[in-house]
A and B are shown apart, each in its own frame.
Chain A
Amino acid sequence: EDQVTQSPEALRLQEGESSSLNCSYTVSGLRGLFWYRQDPGKGPEFLFTLYSAGEEKEKERLKATLTKKESFLHITAPKPEDSATYLCAVQAPGNQFYFGTGTSLTVIP
């Protein structure tokens, strides 16, 4: 069964304290792995797409990496405005998408 697991469920960081979020997946024939950010009461906002193991992408303080079994979202020197829930999703063959339950990040000033 295709599955996406994110850890930790919640993470509290001091401003400037770097950390990583994990997304592990069991999908046959991965077509893409996506990271989104979701603020309370809003729809998810696209961050990155990764297609193959070894690929990395960066945007401001965020860097996403992909291996054959998991992806990491590295947050460097976070700021309070980075507080949000971060969602991971995978695309399986047949245009099926599976989302994890997310990591709720709180950055304390």
Chain B
Amino acid sequence: DAGITQSPRHKVTETGTPVTLRCHQTENHRYMYWYRQDPGHGLRLIHYSYGVKDTDKGEVSDGYSVSRSKTEDFLLTLESATSSQTSVYFCAISESTGTDEQFFGPGTRLTVL
């Protein structure tokens, strides 16, 4: 299994509070991605990173920000969580250009009350 961990694995929070999810990899892969998975929508790309401090938006980036200060860590922040952000969040990594396969982490289940 690719060395990807996500923390926390489960979180319950209240509307309006900030939340940060962490993705950590031990594979030294260049690309890192954040997705959310919801019933009826499948996986949707939130943001991705193509190197330290290099990030770009995905399909559903509104309400989310990301940071990557080290190769191994990619953080996803919800500045002010809303109930619509209740979801399962997956981090993924890929080796080079992104036409490589992605390896996914175990996911974080976030509930916003």
Binding site for B on A (CB under 8 A): 4, 31-32, 34, 36, 41-46, 49, 51, 87, 89, 91, 95-102
Contact = CB atoms under 8 A, between A and B. Distances in A.
A3 B70 CA distance: 33
Contacts, number: 57
Contact of A99 (B44, B48, B50, B99): B44
Main SS at interface, chain A: strand
Interface of B: 31, 33, 35, 40-45, 48, 50, 56, 58-59, 90, 92, 98-107
A51 B45 contact: no
A101 B102 contact: no
Contacts of B59: 96, 98
A100 to B, nearest CB: 6
Contact of A97 (B33, B41, B103): B33
